[in-house]
Structure 1
Amino acid sequence: MLKVKKLICSTIAAAAVFSAVAAPSTLISSNSSTPLVNSINAEASSALGTIEALQNVNIRTGPSTGYQKVGLLCGGKRVSYYDICGDWVSISPTGCRWVCLSYVRRV
């Protein structure tokens, strides 16, 4: 199913190219205060651009509310994005962290 999701998302991915920056304090795990950005910074060059959270927004393991909540993207924070699938944007180069587009804006 992950391959199918990637294929579908890849066909509708945004073509925007922006500079990408992710601050370590940007993503906070729901279980602790441990940042979740280590893997994001590793591949910043493959990012499509940067988004900014308009308010606190849940980070999920997939592109819908049916996926598990794994953290919080704090309002005002900027992170790189790697894929878009419908109303959801991936903030992880591996496709394992997603936020809803309704709560972010492209920078």
Structure 2
Amino acid sequence: MPDSDFIAASAKMRIAFDTLESIASRRERVLVSLDDLDLQPRMAGVIQRRYGMAAPPMIINGSVAGATRQGRVDRFHVGPEEFDAMILSPRADGVGLTLTPANHVIYLSRWWNPAVED
């Protein structure tokens, strides 16, 4: 499916990409919370192509080992002052991550666990 059709097929994606347009135009950084592990790389590819990024946004989810995870966090922190995005699983982003360079968070899915939310 072409990227434009992928975005148009879902109101949630249309709103997310409208928001990403604004963030990218200001050269800011964003975290995208997305639970669907199959959708994470697709979303990364669409973001990379749409915004002309040299590499796709990094992904952190439960399958990313500790050292690799920390390396991705470190790269996000020292990246150049330009648009950047990182895709996070809601469960992975709630476990000790400090991603202060991000000005924005887009929740495409959340971990609806009241105990964790508290």
* Bigger Rg over Cα: 2
Give the TM-score of the pair, scaled to structure 2: 0.27
The structure with higher relative contact order (CA 8 Å, sep 6+) is 2
TM-score by length of 1: 0.29
